[in-house]
Amino acid sequence: MSQLEENLAFRLGQLEKTLEAYRALHVAELEEIAHALAALRPNVEALLTAAAPPGQPVPGKARPTIETGDSAR
């Protein structure tokens, strides 16, 4: 194998490792956002319930909750 081919193969391996690291980082960030939103939902629903006129449906109450990686497994 020529030096150029060896360099290309090495660089390709480095880029593949970098890509996997970025994928893992973004998955972790999205999980963090999902957890924060799931924690926020009960507070928002309580506020909507308190503000809704009696006998009226609470807006947003029927929406499904966001599933985090922990609860989706």
Percent over 90 (pLDDT), the chain: 42
Angle at 36 between CA 33 and CA 39, to 5 degrees: 150
- Parent domain of 16: 3-72
Task: Compute the average pLDDT of residues 15-27.
Answer: 92
Res. 73: pLDDT tops 60: no
- Number of independent structural domains in the chain: 1
Report pLDDT for 53. Answer: 85
Q: What is the sign of the dihedral through the CA atoms of 7, 11, 14 and 16?
A: negative
pTM over 0.85: no
Q: Which two tokens stand for residue 9?
A: 């193969």
Res. 72: pLDDT tops 80: no
Q: Which two tokens stand for residue 21?
A: 């690291």
Q: Which two tokens stand for residue 32?
A: 């963090």
Report pLDDT for 69. Answer: 62
Judge contact between 72 and 60, C-beta under 8 A: no
